[in-house]
């Protein structure tokens, strides 16, 4: 019975691995994807990062780094703001581009409105000020704020994936809103290694 259970567990891991590989082969420009930086990437900004990205018009993409919380809380940055001054969550470093612009990830069953992008089931990336203010006023506990972002021109991300800069993994809200973001890259890297090892055992 133990051998049967182990065989089933290995098979399930292999199916998950195959599913992730199939997901990674699809063109990144067509869907939201989560990116895991290659362990050999020595870039000071993107080394050991996890990113969530979404398609924009004409093949461009926008993304945010999920595992770089800053030391600053929203209420310390905006103490006099009626809405932002009440939020205790930390601000995240979203990326080196547009550092003066804030974007917000929010878990919501309904579209927050114009100026937001669907980046998963029940998950949206808000990029316009009116929508962001509405989200932070009405459902701050479901939101995470990022200063700065990452942008790719059409085809640029697909090229980086082909070069091995990123691995593509299936996004899920629990991972994206990890309560321990500092360890998110290591956790996903370890999970990726375990799936690969299971696949090798079966083959």
pLDDT in tens, 45-68: 999 999 999 988 888 999 999 999
Confidence check: pLDDT of 124 > 70: yes
Compute the mean pLDDT over every residue in the chain, rounded to the nearest whole number: 79
Q: Taking Cα atoms as reference points, which of 163, 155, 200, 167 lies closest to residue 61? A: 155
pLDDT tens profile 58-109: 889 999 999 999 998 877 777 777 767 677 788 999 999 988 888 999 998 8
pLDDT of res. 157? 94
b/e code 151-186 from CB counts within 10 Å (16+ = b): bbeeeebbebbeeebbbbbebeeebbbbeebeebbe
pLDDT of res. 50? 96
pLDDT of res. 197? 38
Contacts of 151 (CB under 8 A, 6+ apart): 60, 61, 62, 63, 95, 97, 98
> What are 201's two structure tokens?
């055992």
Contacts of 166 (CB under 8 A, 6+ apart): 35, 36, 37, 38, 51, 157, 160
pLDDT of res. 26? 39
What average pLDDT score do residues 186-191 get?
Answer: 86
- Contact, 103 vs 110, CB < 8 A? no
Type and span of the H or E element at 189: helix 184-202
Measured in degrees and rounded to the nearest 5, phi and psi for residue 131 equal -70, -40
Q: Which domains does the chain have, with CATH numbers?
A: 28-179 (3.40.1740.10)
Residue 128's Cβ-count burial label (10 Å; 0-12, 13-18, 19+) is middle
Question: Any idea which residue has 């990437």 for tokens?
Answer: 41
Rounded to two decimals, what is the model's pTM? 0.78
Q: What is the torsional sign of CA 117, 172, 180, 156? A: negative
Question: Any idea which residue has 């001054």 for tokens?
Answer: 85
CA 31, CA 178: separation in Å to the nearest integer? 22
48-57, 173-182, 191-200: range with lowest mean pLDDT: 191-200
**% of the chain exceeding 70 in pLDDT:** 77
């Amino acid at each position: 019975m133990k051998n049967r259970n182990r065989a089933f567990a290995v098979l399930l891991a292999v199916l998950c691995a195959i599913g992730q590989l199939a997901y990674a082969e699809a063109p990144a420009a067509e869907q939201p994807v989560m990116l895991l930086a290659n362990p050999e990437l020595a870039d000071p900004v993107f080394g050991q990062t996890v990113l969530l990205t979404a398609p924009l018009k004409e093949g461009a993409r926008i993304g945010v780094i999920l595992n770089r919380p800053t030391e600053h809380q929203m209420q310390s940055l905006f103490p006099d703001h009626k809405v932002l001054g009440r939020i205790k969550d930390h601000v995240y470093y979203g990326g080196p581009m547009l550092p003066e612009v804030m974007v917000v990830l929010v878990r919501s069953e309904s579209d927050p409105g114009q100026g937001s992008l669907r980046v998963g089931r029940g998950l949206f990336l808000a990029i316009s000020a009116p929508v962001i203010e509405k989200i932070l006023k009405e459902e701050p506990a479901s939101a995470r704020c990022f200063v700065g972002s990452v942008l790719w021109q059409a085809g640029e991300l697909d090229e980086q994936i082909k070069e091995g800069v990123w691995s593509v993994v299936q996004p899920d809200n629990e991972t994206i809103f990890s309560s321990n973001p500092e360890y998110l890259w290591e956790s996903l890297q370890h999970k990726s290694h375990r799936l690969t090892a299971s696949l090798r055992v079966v083959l």
